[in-house]
Amino acid sequence: MRKPAPTQHQVHELIQQRWSPRAFSSQPVPPEVLRSLFEAARWAPSSSNEQPWAFLVTTADDKENHAKMLSTLVEFNQAWAKHAPVLVIAVSELAFAKNGHPNRNAFYDTGAAVANLSVEATSRGCSCIKWRVRSSQSNRAFRNPHRVGAHLGLHDRLSGQSGNFARDAAPSRTGPARAKAGGHVCHGRALGKTASFLQK
């Protein structure tokens, strides 16, 4: 199912077509597609080129790991996520490798990597949705090394096709896409003062 964003201005089709469905085809995502998605994530920009992200990835055929990752989500999301052919936890390394100092941009950078992944997914007819992770469960289930301070708290659900979408899609996800107006996002001389290029 396609749900193009009703954008105020022209944007690339890949941006317009991305959205977060809650239902997916059970078809597995081919390994070569997965490789491309994480390759896209790998090439995101990051503060000091630290690349503080890492991804725990499981596919539905690995039932034990899939169930373990599912358990890190709140129950509401588990209802949808259990059908996902791929589950991912994005992890942020919160300290710089070179000196152990806190990296305040780690979450920001990991978000950029996930955004890259989402765009690549859209280009390949895949969808993904992010879910908050219950960090305590996640840490327990995956025994993260202590140097990884916290999870970014994203769960992605990916699919090759969205063939069975209509059957079990949540109404809240099939409604029109929503975004704040440009004037709420782009400010000029101060926050609250709309950027001039938006007024022309």
Ligand X SMILES: Cc1cc2nc3c(=O)[nH]c(=O)nc-3n(C[C@H](O)[C@H](O)[C@H](O)COP(=O)(O)O)c2cc1C
Q: Give contact residues for ligand X (rule: CB under 6 A).
A: 19-20, 22, 77, 129-132, 154, 177
List phi, psi (to 5°) of 70. -60, -35
Closest distance between ligand X and the C-beta of residue 5, in Å? 7
Residues 6+ apart with CB under 8 A from 126: 29, 33, 37, 158, 159, 160
Q: Which is nearer to ligand X, 74 or 96 (CB)?
A: 74
Q: Which is nearer to ligand X, 60 or 114 (CB)?
A: 114
List, as one string, the DSSP characters of 128-154.
--B----HHHHHHHHT--TTS-EEEEE
Dihedral sign (CA 160, 165, 167, 172): positive
Q: How many CA atoms lie within 13 A of 187 on its CB side?
A: 7
Q: How many CA atoms lie within 13 A of 95 on its CB side?
A: 10
DSSP state of 47: G
Closest distance between ligand X and the C-beta of residue 187, in Å? 21
Q: Which is nearer to ligand X, 20 or 96 (CB)?
A: 20
Closest distance between ligand X and the C-beta of residue 143, in Å? 23
Q: Which is nearer to ligand X, 4 or 188 (CB)?
A: 4
Closest distance between ligand X and the C-beta of residue 178, in Å? 7
> 53-59 and 150-158: which strand pairing?
unpaired
Q: Which is nearer to ligand X, 20 or 135 (CB)?
A: 20
Closest distance between ligand X and the C-beta of residue 112, in Å? 12
